[in-house]
Structure 1
Amino acid sequence: MPRPALAASRAIDILNFMAAAPLRGYSLTELVRQLDLNPASCHALLGAMTRDGYLVRAQRGRVYRLGPALIAIGHAALQCHPVVAAARNQIALLSAELDMDSLLTARLDDRLIALASEGPGRLPGLAVGQRVPLIPPLGTPFLAWANDREVDSWLAKAAGAIDADRLRQSLAMVRQRGYAVTQRSPEQAATGLAVLGMAEEPLAGEWQKRVAERIGQMGEDYLMIEAQPDRLHPVMMISAPVFGDDGAVLCTLSLYGFDRPLPLSRIAALGEAIARHCRAASAIPGEPDKQINEVGRG
């Protein structure tokens, strides 16, 4: 049997892997190959997780899927984080109000994770459970209110050449507006394809490396800094932060799936609408929510 600490780590890897593509089922052979696990240890872990309801095994095809015990755990986790739970409700209201796709994202140390999504699904986006690295130029709504040490650490993780002053300027603009705007570009489109590919191979090293490389190639032009009022802007996403009681950013609400360029006035109206829903979520008392940004920090 594997060592207890190692077994726990492997079990977490299995759950994270399957959560990133929850509609798929995985055989023992696939999990062993994708996660580089010992076959005997993996078989023992799958058996234990299936007995406790964390996984279910289909007799036909002999594949494993996420089990019902995780639903109860998810509901319990939302009770621990009432502001995040409120934000989850707000993206549903936001999508219904604007008839657009919306996304709830949280920070897990040096990664971003999609917690929930709503909307008509006109364009593909990050799937719930998927994670992407928190490296420039991604994550400005989380970093705009961070301290200098956190910002410096974020800048140091860039996967390509960056203009640090330009990125700092973008953070200041996010603080000033109260929301972040990212622009659609060929580089962003290539990154989107790489991220969507991770839905098939959620933790595969090849995809992770490709995503990081693509993000690094997006550059500072991905961020809308100087917006010209007399032109249309090809918007990728508009995001605003949800704050906890201590002023830290707990999560972000985003709109995406824009099928045409937008004038600055429309961008501002959408940004204000998102910020309004974020304020509604932040108004929920939620002391335990302070702990969400400590995930992964030991």
Structure 2
Amino acid sequence: MELALLAIGVGVGVGIVVGALGAGGGILAVPVLVFLLGMPAHSATASSLIIVLITALVSLPHHARHGNVEWRNGLVFAGVSVVGAFVGSRLSSLVPASVLLTLFGVMLVGVAVMMLRRGLRSRAEERAEAAAHSWRAEHEADEPVTTHDDPVLDQPGPDTVESADGIHRHHGEPELPTAPAPPASPRLPLVLAAATVTGFLTGFFGVGGGFIVVPMLVIALGLAMRRASGTSLLVMVIATAASLLARLGTEVQIDWATTLIFAGGSAVGGLLGGPLSTKARPSTLTLLFSVLLGGVAAVTLAQTLL
């Protein structure tokens, strides 16, 4: 009973962090399952896969209804990741627990540094945008406001339209016809490498791999951030399912009761933490996430090595 209550409480806490900071549940679940709930390392990675799978399945329909899932690109990316997921899952069961946790801690350090750099870059961009907005506001206040009563110009016409790529284009003057640009070819080697690495990390460490999937979908396939986030859930569902299937026949045991209770608590915490993300700047959330990962990495390495 005490273990169940602890699993619920810790699951809610992790869910709040995930909902507020946008953090991946798997990357936080593994150390929590090992050091707070006393699971063996290999069992914790398998349980984390179940938690990530449930979270992704619950979250995917919402993004799909809003058209934020690129099904074709996502299925291709996920299909390639299955190979890495199978290899990572099989290899994970052969690695000693201490080595597995040490490598997990090293991965946490790498992700923390990556998120720290991203947060600092976002903070600089936010400050530059705020300065530019302030400058425009000051100069517009000094300029006389001109009005017109032209019924044609007053209509919401096509002066400025937003194209599919999100760029605002001005059509006040006729444009000369230009030759069509050649279709942008995706960086196939980068996509294959990213998908394989994502699958391997998912299978080996039991993490969702969203911290790699989202940037790679943006860089390699040119998806907008919102579409990349929705599509990454599809990739997670397939990669985690493949990783769990690859663990069949191994000696890894799953504590289903603790795992499902933890997953339920995490889902509730995610609902509570979601509204918190609207009260802080994205750069602040990213920096907090990097600090959190750094702390978890320090605890993981200290507990494992010392």
Regarding TM over 0.5, the answer is no
TM-score normalised per structure 2: 0.25
Q: Which has the higher contact order (CA 8 A, sep 6+)?
A: 2
TM-score normalised per structure 1: 0.25
More helix per residue: 1 or 2? 2
More strand per residue: 1 or 2? 1
* Higher Cα Rg, which structure: 2
